[in-house]
Amino acid sequence: MLETGTKAPEFSLPDQNGVVHTLSEYAGKKVILYFYPKDNTPGCSKQACGFSELYPQFEEKGAVVIGISKDSVASHKKFEEKYNLGFTILSDKELEAIKAYDVWQEKKNYGKVSMGVVRTTYLIDENGIIVKAFGKVKAADNPAQMLGELE
């Protein structure tokens, strides 16, 4: 996980509609950047729905929410439509941002070790600096937790 106080790494990734986004296009806004393992899994769906429900409140506070996983653009589109998500989700199939933000790590599941995305959320300020970093977040609690961080 990246340290607070460091410059957030730039990225250039396609969203659920195939439109490419960069971090720099959000200069002047707070960015909630969250990394999640996989579309349409119970925890990831809870987390995404929570962010979507609270999205108007994030906007009121001058913040945007961006989710990133290694799923494809097509998978993200289905995920967005299934849950009527109201924010941007980016596809990082090449693990560009996932590795830059140090969330591609060894995971253990039932004794089996593999590499994967560790659920992590960053709060990036208007100048592109990481001001908060949360590792191994609880999916269901993360959206409300991040809204509270904007107070």
Active site residues: 44
Distance CA 90, CA 48 (A): 13
Whether residue 98 contacts residue 2, with contact meaning beta carbons closer than 8 Å, is answered with no
Distance CA 102, CA 112 (A): 21
Per the rule left: phi > 0, alpha: psi between -120 and 50, beta: everything else, 58 is: alpha
CA distances from 24 to 51, 52, 76, 103, 145 (A): 22, 22, 22, 20, 25
Distance CA 25, CA 83 (A): 26
Token duo for residue 75: 């998978």
For 146, phi then psi, to 5°, come to: -70, -35
